[in-house]
Amino acid sequence: MHTLIFATNNRNKVAEIQSLVGANFTIIPLKEAGIEIDIPEPHDQLEANAHEKAVTIFNLTHQNCFSEDTGLEIVALDGAPGVKSARYAGENSNSQANIDLVLSKMTGIENRTAQFRTVICLIWENQTYYFEGVCKGQILSNMQGENGFGYDPIFVPDGATKSFANMTMDEKNTFSHRKKAVTQLFDFLGKL
Question: Which one among 7, 28, 64, 70 touches ligand IMP, defined by CB under 6 A?
Answer: 70
Q: Is residue 175 involved in binding ligand IMP (CB under 6 A)? A: no
Q: Does residue 131 interact with ligand IMP by CB under 6 A? A: no
Candidates 31-39, 52-60, 145-153, 181-189: pick the segment binding ligand IMP (CB under 6 A).
145-153
Using CB under 6 A as the binding rule, whether residue 69 contacts ligand IMP is answered as: yes
Determine contact, residues 46/83, Cβ cutoff 8 Å: yes
**Nearest distance from C-beta of residue 1 to ligand IMP, angstroms:** 27
Residues with a catalytic annotation lie at: 69
Chain positions contacting ligand IMP, by CB under 6 A: 69-72, 85-86, 95, 116, 148-152, 164
